[in-house]
Structure 1
Amino acid sequence: MVDTLRAEKPYRIGIIGDKSSLVPFWELFANLGNERVLGQLGLVALALHDKAPVGERFSATLNLPVHAGWRDMLAAHPELNMVIETTGQQPLIQDLRLGLPPTVSLVERAAASFFLRLLSSDQMWVACKVDLMHTQTLLKNVIDQLKEEIVLTDRNGLVLDCNKALMDRLGVSKSEVTGRHVRDVFHLPETPSGNDNGGVSPLEQALATLQPSEATLPQVDDNGRMHYVREYFYPILDDAGAVTSLLCIRRDITNRTQMELRLQQSERLASIGEMSTYIAHEIRNPLFAISGFANQLLREAQDEKAREKLGIIVAESRRLDGILKSILTFARPSESAPGLADINGIVRDTMDLMGMACENQSIQPILALTKDIPLVKADPELIKQCLINLVKNAVEAMPSGGLLTVRTGLAPSHVILEVEDTGVGIPPEMRDKVFSPFFSTKGKGSGLGLAMIKKVLDDLGGTVDLTSIPGEGTRVSLLLPPHLAVAKAEATG
């Protein structure tokens, strides 16, 4: 029975009536939209009761042949299997019931009006559905092209939908993201620190204030690299002002933040350089006199306690002079001698020099040197000093011993020199400060080691890359410009 009901039967329909009844009836057909819909209905011909010449067209839109009566219409169109009566006149209906053959179904005016209105509603629904699907596809394509990660959640923060950027970063499908809390997919901490909302999560702030909230959060990826992300939370409210859902956007602003930090550091270094040069020169003159007189008194003193105190003065004077030299070296432009540096040779010489310090702290040095790497266009002494500073930092980060790996390699446009330790690592909140002058995590020294390295690399046209995972270790990579063959050709030409 079900299959019989579902079976498609082609209908060939004739309409019976007069002009007064067909005009409002035809308006229902016109409201259905277009000729495609009329073709689906299977309209074939008209039969009029009032006077009308045979073969006349009822109207320009109703392009159907007109017959003088329904019997003429059936004779001219034997394929008809349904007629629709539009007048509602009982004599005509009775005549049709008695005269129509069994193969032709009769649909009276009331039933026809009902089904036509139903069809009109169905066509409108289909049109709306098509428009909605088109709009939905367009919106999805636009959102999926954005680099920002976009997530729609319910009022409890559970993911309802997301765009392609988020799925690509997580490496999962949408079904695996749906239902998870936005904290999991955005890696939001329960009690964030270091953001610009006073330590309050922007998610909680948006829910509490019912206002958009945003914050910049530092995050460390699985490889120990620092990222800065800007996260936005927009509560979506109903008419009563209650939160129904949340629109969450996550944008990686690491490159922009790095450029801003470099600009700030350049301005800070310029001011520090001018001030440091002036102060160092002013201090060195009286320091020279203090050190000279202290040395003379030390040679002449006979009392052991006096000699001990004078020795402290001389030692501290020398230490202060060393700090002043570091400040002056940092403040002045790098006066590196032009030359070519053999990175592998510098690593071997430096590790021979630092081997005793590693052995004393139970540190195992590992050299992973790549053969046949090009020379570096730089002063070998400057590169050696940078490497010594990095090795010293690594040794100090492993007071209980560990592994110290120095490796070299070749990138598409740089020679790589890396120093990696298995020490305590650097906390995320200190990651931005390690290249700042006079900043130290060890409580001693001038804090100019990494700042000097960065300055040297900037002058050479290279870069410094730092990755660190607290409790696992730190890796500092120097990307140095290679000596190109074209440079040699130009020089000899």
Structure 2
Amino acid sequence: MTMTERAVPPRASALARALRSPWLGVALLLGAITAGHYLTDPSQAVGHDLFRRLYYLPIVWAAFTGGLVAGVATALVATVAYVPHAFLMPHHLDPAGTTDKVLEIILYFGVGALAGLLVDRERRARRRAERSRLERLAAEQDAARLQGLVQLTRGLAHEVRNPLGSIHGAIEILASATPDAGPAREMAAIAQRETTRLSRVLDDFLAFARPRDPELTPFDPAHAVDHVVALQQDAAAAAGIGLTADVEPGLSCVGDVDQVIQVLLNLVKNALAATPSDGRIEVRATAAAAGVRFEVADTGAGVPDGLGASIYDPYVTGREGGSGLGLSVAALLVSQQGGLLAHEARPGGGTVFRFALPAAAEVHHG
């Protein structure tokens, strides 16, 4: 601290904030208008009309500062301050007619409520716009971070894929030459299963590392939803899980239908892995603001605590044995089409993943 600087005492700082508060201005204006009413001679009808209407200034000011509650509360304060002079003081009564004064009081509340409602609505719209901006910024940052892993993933996948195919083929040859029973045949079967699993993981790596540019065309959302449900119906039935499609009629959107199918397929596979027997999974397409919203809702255990938005990061998984790329690939494919993949917990348990695509003028049936 220099010689010219001085610490501001907390009490002085609080006083400075209070003096800058708009509520002090509202209170002073209310007091000044009320004093004008009470100090003006009852014979001065024009002056009383003026002061009666000046109450709208602090009411609107309060509504613009604090919204609906503040506007109505200030109208109530103005009414309480004005009523004695309007109706209860015969020796110093506002000379206006009773009907005029009652209507004026009603208008105080009407103006306060209307101005407050408009301000609250505008603030909610601004908050929604800010949330959308932050979500979009986060999505762009995630996409930029993902690009840093693309080259590494692509190179590793190609380096491993060819020798893995050779190993799998060699194991098949050895298994065919091994007796049907015995530990050698059992070990060969285990090796075959593991190389098959690794091959699927590599497929996920490659899908993440080299996504093609989307071909945006109009399509019927029912085509994508029904196709994915049909593909996974047997797996769901084997796990004792109900898998259903729910598509609002007459929908049409613009996107890459193959990539949308891939996104929904990844989401349904994740839901199947997270949902216990007797659970339910719903794949939905419904109308949204200027577009179509796709949802995959399950009754599973939900996203593990602590993961949050990081669940879309590559190699982050909430279940044992997962590659951590299914949601990353889905988020990347949705982002390429101008959408944003998001999720939230269901009230009764489970998770809903959703994204939206813009509407199209007509449905093209494939």
TM-score, length of structure 2 as denominator length: 0.60
The one-letter amino acid paired with 1:134 is L
Select which of 211, 233, 240 maps to 1:355.
Answer: 233
The separation in 2 between residues aligned to 1:134 and 1:140, in whole angstroms, is 10
Output the amino acid matched with 2:201. I
CA distance in 1, matches of 2:246, 2:302: 21
Determine which of 306, 316, 325 is the counterpart of 2:203: 325
State the alpha-carbon separation in 1 of the partners of residues 62 and 321 from structure 2.
Answer: 52
Structure 2 counterpart SS, 1:320 = helix
The structure richer in helix per residue is 2
Local SS of the residue matching 2:312: coil
SS at match of 2:297: strand
Match of 1:373 in 2: 251
Distance 1:353 1:256, change over 3 A: closer
Q: Quick one: which amino acid aligns to residue 224 of structure 2?
A: I
Report matched runs for 1:435-474 at 5 Å.
Answer: 435-469=312-346, 472-474=349-351
Deviation readout 1:21-79 (Å, 9 max, x if unpaired): xxxxxxxxxxxxxxxxxxxxxxxxxxxxxxxxxxxxxxxxxxxxxxxxxxxxxxxxxxx
* Cα separation, 1, equivalents of 2:267 and 2:357: 15
Paired with 1:130 and 1:395, the residues of 2 have a C-alpha distance of 60
8 Å CA contact 1:465, 1:478 repeated in 2: yes
Structure 2 residue 182 is the aligned partner of structure 1 residue 304: yes
Correspondence for 1:134: 29
Indicate the RMSD between aligned Cα atoms, in angstroms.
3.8
- Deviation at residue 419 of structure 1 after TM alignment: 1.8
Q: Please, what TM-score do these two structures have when normalized by structure 1?
A: 0.46
Q: How many residues align?
A: 262
Residues 238-277 of structure 1 deviation map (CA, whole Å, 9 limit, x = unaligned): xxxxxxxxxxxx9997456534533431232011111111
Whole-angstrom CA distance in 2 between matches of 1:440 and 1:258? 21
State the alpha-carbon separation in 2 of the partners of residues 251 and 321 from structure 1.
Answer: 43
2:193 to 303, 306, 315: 315
Query: Which residue is 1:240 aligned to?
Result: none
Give, in whole Å, the separation in 2 of the partners of 1:267 and 1:338: 22
Equivalences for 1:201-216 in 2 at 5 Å? none
Match of 1:258 in 2: 135
Taking a change above 3 Å as real, the CA distance of residues 131 and 322 of structure 1, as seen in their structure-2 partners, is closer
Partner residue of 1:62? none
What SS is found at the alignment partner of 2:319?
Answer: coil
**Is 1:345 aligned to 2:223, yes or no?**
yes
Structure 1 contact 343–375 (Cα < 8 Å) conserved = yes
Distance 1:309 1:142 in 2: 80
Flag the structure with larger Rg: 1
SS of residue matched to 2:170: helix
Residue of structure 2 equivalent to 1:102: none
Aligned-residue identity in percent: 29
Shift of 1:428: 5.7
Shift of 1:305: 2.2
- 2:269 is the counterpart of 1:392: yes
Over 3 Å counting, the alpha-carbon distance change for 1:473 and 1:315 in structure 2 is: closer
Q: Contact 1:426–1:470 at 8 Å: present in 2 too? A: no
Given the alignment, which residue of 275, 292, 295 partners 2:169?
Answer: 292
Kindly provide the CA deviation profile for residues 165-193 of structure 1, in whole angstroms up to 9, marking residues without a partner as x: 8x69xxx989xxxxxxxxxxxxxxxxxxx
Aligned pair 1:334/2:229, yes or no?
Answer: no
Cα distance in 1 for partners of 2:220, 2:302 equals: 29
Does the alignment pair 1:405 with 2:286? no
- Secondary structure of 1:437's aligned partner: coil
Any idea what SS the aligned residue of 1:409 has? Answer: strand
Matched residue SS, 1:277: helix
- Equivalence for 1:478: 355
Which one scores higher on RCO, CA 8 angstroms, separation ≥ 6? Answer: 2
Cα distance in 1 between the residues matched to 2:212 and 2:26: 66
What are the Cα deviations for residues 415-448 of structure 1, in whole angstroms up to 9, with x where unaligned? 2222222332235632211211221112222122
Q: Between Structure 1 and Structure 2, which shows a larger proportion of strand residues?
A: 1
